[in-house]
Structure 1
Amino acid sequence: MIFINVKFHVKPEYADTFLDDINWYTEACNAEPGCLEFKWFRDPEDSQRFLLVEAYKDGEDVTHVQSEHFERSCKEFPQYLLETPDIINFKIDGKTEWDKMAEFKVD
């Protein structure tokens, strides 16, 4: 599994429309066969900040960044942003799904 988190800081005029404006991208990514997770979260303390959580099957991150919708996003997203997004990603070999949290087990 390739796990990716990206932090976006959008311009104030796009804070309320950002997710709708880029929904074409979200839908296309979620439709990718190798996509395990692709979800946006808005910071409750700062409405201009968003977190994208992505996960792909091993090797499918390459397919993702070679897609037409990813290429389009590279051209279009900067218009919405105040700064270059922060990103972190890591690979967990052989992982295909989330684990259950033992500390908060629900019976």
Structure 2
Amino acid sequence: MIFIVFRLDARPDKRDDFLDGIVRYSEQVRAEPGNLVFSCYESVERANEFTVLANYVDQAAGEAHVSSEHAKWFFGWLPSVVTEQPKIVFTELPGEGWGPMGEVVMDQREA
């Protein structure tokens, strides 16, 4: 599984443009074959700080994503709505996706 997290700061004066663009892009990415997760979250401590989480089944799916027309649009558009170059973590992990968190045991009576 490919695991990608990137963090960015949206320009305050471009916040609405950023939100419109990331919603559009998220829908396109989620429709890609091999995409497991694509979500964007805003920090609860810092306005306009966003973290994007993306997972792909394998390297081939990730490469197909990067070469897609919507990814090319996103990479070209993003500098117009952020304050600086986004920071990224990209790694390949063993396994086929998300698993249960062993430290948290759910009480079946409340589930």
Q: Same fold (TM over 0.5)?
A: yes
Number of positions where the alignment pairs a residue of Structure 1 with one of Structure 2: 106
Supply the RMSD in Å over aligned alpha carbons: 1.2
Structure 1 residue 98 and structure 2 residue 72: aligned? no
Query: Offset at 1:17?
Result: 4.8
Counterpart amino acid of residue 97 in structure 2: E
- Matching of residues 5-84 of structure 1 within 5 Å: 5-59=5-59, 60-84=61-85
Could you tell me whether the CA contact under 8 Å between 2:8 and 2:50 is conserved in 1?
yes
- The share of aligned pairs that are identical, in percent, is 33
Displaced runs of 4 or more, over 6 A: none
Residue 36 of structure 2: SS of its match in structure 1?
strand
Consecutive unaligned residues in structure 2, runs of 5 or more: none
Radius of gyration: which is bigger?
2
Residue 50 of structure 1: SS of its match in structure 2?
strand
TM-score, length basis structure 1: 0.92
CA distance in 2, matches of 1:48, 1:40: 12
Could you tell me whether the CA contact under 8 Å between 1:9 and 1:82 is conserved in 2?
yes
TM-score, length basis structure 2: 0.89
